[in-house]
Chain A
Amino acid sequence: MKCPDCGSENVPGADECQECGGSLWGLDAQGNEVEQSITAHPIQVLCPREPICVAPQTPVRDVLAEMVARNIGCVIVEDSAQLLGVFTERDVLNKVALDEQNLSRPVSEFMTPNPATATKSDSIGYVLQGMDLGGYRHIPIVNSADIVVGMISSRDILRFMAVKYAGSRN
């Protein structure tokens, strides 16, 4: 917790700054407001976008065209509404890029299978934790039947916190 007067770092919950003695009263409570908010709000409030889904046998070339046309970095690979995997820009870099023959092969060969998922009632904090720990930029949102109903990105969460609690657009 940083002192607003001198900028020194203090332990969370401290009443006064150990460096300059200035009052830190209330700062922690304000921090708690954000913490309580991202714990209390389900990911649903961020209005997850409609997922873009492709079949596992779709050639990588066609999937790339779709990702460019829709300006997205991640597609869902599913078969009869069952989630099989996600295919992301990182998969393009790590698995596809160096052999042009790969463009004709099915996307299922290069997807990341069994991706981490969340439900729309999971809290924002929970999804944020999963993204940070797993290093994911996108999390598919599934319903109780494990059918993908949305997609949330780390940018969506960042925007929510910055606009709502930091007035970043003011």
Chain B
Amino acid sequence: MFLRHLLTTSRVGQLGLKDVPVVRADQTVAAAAREMRSHSHGSALVCQGRQLTGIFTERDLLKLLAAGKSVETPVAEAMTAAPRTVKVDDSLMVVIQLLDEGGYRRLPVIDAAGQPVGIVDVKSVVHFLVEHFPKAVYNQAPRVLSRAKDREGA
């Protein structure tokens, strides 16, 4: 299968990992949220020194607010500690299996020394597929998705 071959031979490192915010566990959720905003990214790696200790995502932020907790709460209390990671030389098939069956939205990526180098998410894998199937994706009708319209006469 062509796609299987593509996914098993392509490596995480080929995805063009994004520059994501890095925060400390003793910083506040508000500080982490500001960092995430400035990077236009929905998650932050939580590190002590150069070692990964957790991941804090916009989902964690949503849960914190829904629970009525303050954004001055330390990241340590809202993050996912010791998250599942993938290595830069893991195949995209491993990533997809974790995103699909493991239910993960994002996975921190670590290098051979175990240090975090970025995050891989559904969006980055989708972009990879779009680049590899440009005919199917870009030979679509020359329009972007339609927009919700104002109801005429309303």
Q: Indicate if A52 sits at the interface (CB-CB under 8 A).
A: no
Asked whether A133 lies within 8 Å of B144 as measured between CB atoms, the reply is yes
Q: Which of A115, A131, A140, A168 contacts B126 (CB 8 A)?
A: A131
Question: In the assembled complex, which residues on chain A have CB atoms less than 8 Å from the CB atom of B82?
Answer: none
Contacts of B36 in A (CB 8 A): 93
Cβ contact within 8 Å between A129 and B129: no
Nearest CB of B to A131, in Å: 6
Complex interface: chain B residues within 8 A of A123 (CB): 140
- Are the CB atoms of B137 and A132 closer together than 8 Å? yes
User: A35 contacts which chain B residues (CB < 8 A)?
Assistant: 133, 135-136
Are B62 and A64 in contact (CB-based, < 8 A)? yes
Task: Decide: A154 and B123 in contact? CB cutoff 8 A.
Answer: yes
Structural contact, B122 and A137, CB atoms closer than 8 A? yes
Interface digits, B1-36 against A, CB 8 Å rule (1 contact, 0 not)? Answer: 111111101000000000000000000001001101
One digit per residue, 1 when the CB lies within 8 angstroms of any chain A CB and 0 when it does not, for chain B 97-113 equals 10111000100000000
A137 surroundings in chain B (CB, below 8 A): 122-123
Q: How many A residues touch B, CB cutoff 8 Å?
A: 70
List B residues 32-70 near A (Cβ within 8 Å). Answer: 33-34, 36-37, 42, 58-59, 61-63, 65-66, 70
Question: By the criterion CB–CB under 8 Å, are A89 and B3 in contact?
Answer: no
- Contact residues of A between 52 and 106, Cβ < 8 Å to B: 61, 64-65, 67-68, 73, 82-85, 89-90, 92-94, 96-98, 100, 103
B131 vs chain A, min Cβ distance (A): 9
The reply to whether B144 and A134 contact each other, CB–CB distance below 8 Å, is yes
The answer on a CB contact under 8 Å between A7 and B4 is no
The answer, yes or no, to whether B117 is at the interface (CB within 8 Å) is no
Q: How many B residues face the partner with a CB closer than 8 A? A: 54
B residues in contact (CB < 8 Å) with A: 1-7, 9, 30, 33-34, 36-37, 42, 58-59, 61-63, 65-66, 70-71, 93, 96-97, 99-101, 105, 122-123, 125-127, 129-130, 132-133, 135-141, 144-149, 151, 154
18 A-B pairs in the complex with CB atoms less than 8 angstroms apart: A31-B3, A38-B137, A93-B42, A93-B61, A94-B37, A97-B30, A97-B33, A103-B65, A117-B145, A117-B146, A130-B145, A132-B127, A155-B99, A158-B99, A162-B100, A165-B1, A166-B1, A167-B4
Spell out A's residues near B (CB within 8 Å): 2, 4, 7, 27, 30-39, 61, 64-65, 67-68, 73, 82-85, 89-90, 92-94, 96-98, 100, 103, 113-118, 123, 125-135, 137, 139-140, 142, 146, 154-155, 157-159, 161-163, 165-169
